[in-house]
Structure 1
Amino acid sequence: MTRVAFVSCVKTKSETPELAEHLYVSPWFRMAREYARRNAERWFILSAEHGLLDPRTMVEPYETTLNRMMIEDRKRWASHVAWQMEDLGVKGDLAFVLAGERYREFLMNRLAIRFDTVKIPMKGLQMGEQLSWMKNTLGDHQR
């Protein structure tokens, strides 16, 4: 079974260039990254600035967010991510999406084409509930 996880970027970032997996420094992102590592063979960051971002890519800090983008820009972003998935051959049996509604809204249909099953483990949970869910799911063995 091929499992791929998608983790959204977050506002809190390092002030210096870092590998993408280390650029985002919030507790939410660190736990989502760990969930992705444990539950998928591949994982990617859904970056408002870069689209689909390989965690091992060196990245400069940025301030772009989908939350402030107009709807047409969010549609273009989702098309760009879909093109990147095609280019990188990202597809499989199961996709996990750890991202808010703005990051999912125009991406879900595109993921459904590339994956047999798409799961949103924290759908409908508020931020505090998401943190609690990840903490309980990951247990005491967080990296």
Structure 2
Amino acid sequence: MKNKIILISCVSQKLEQSEKVQNLYISTLFRYNLKYARSLKPNGIYVLSAKHGLLNLDQEIEPYEQTLNTMRFSEIKEWARLVLQQLSEIASLDEDEFIFLAGNKYRKYLLPHIKHSHIPLEGLSIGKQLQKLKELTK
């Protein structure tokens, strides 16, 4: 039996004080992604953080301002190497199923190393993602 791991990308909207990861990110998209992720009853839900790599929902961190959108190609590749290392410590990149609720920048250099992946909101604008997530979490 494969494990189901869900990866949600971080967002810029955060609380202004240190908090558990699941409460720190406050955008509507993040909230709906988390609600949808929980409804899938996965073995694990993690946040892909531009600053920290892979974050557990219960980890407490300080708010930060960092995004892959402003990072150089070499920095993004290094970030992806870190995340793959972190993922391989908690899951099997060959056996487990990874569901990405994350934009292309956050997936691009991870996907070639993951055998079983699913991107349910692929190709949808933020507005369409929200619309679909609202339907999926009714």
Select which of 94, 102, 106 maps to 1:103: 106
| Letter matched to residue 121 of structure 2 | M
TM-score (normalizing by structure 2): 0.93
Partner Cα separation in structure 2 for residue 82 and residue 95 of structure 1: 12
Inter-partner Cα distance in structure 1 for 2:77 and 2:87: 15
Aligned residues: 134
Matched, 1:120 2:119: yes
Q: Distance in 2 between matches of 1:32 and 1:69?
A: 24
Percent identity, please. Answer: 37
User: Which residue matches 2:130?
Assistant: 131
Unaligned runs of 5+ in 1: none
Q: What are the Cα deviations for residues 1-49 of structure 1, in whole angstroms up to 9, with x where unaligned?
A: 4211000000100001000111000010001011111211211000000
Deviation of 1:86 after TM superposition, in Å, equals 1.9
In structure 1, what is the equivalent of residue 20 of structure 2? 19
Select 1:64's aligned residue among 63, 66, 81: 66
RMSD: 1.0
User: What is the alpha-carbon distance in structure 1 between the residues aligned to residue 83 and residue 43 of structure 2?
Assistant: 19
SS at match of 2:114: helix
Name the amino acid aligned to 1:126: S
Q: CA deviation at 1:93?
A: 3.3
Amino acid at match of 2:53: G
Task: Report runs of 4+ in structure 1 exceeding 2 Å deviation.
Answer: none
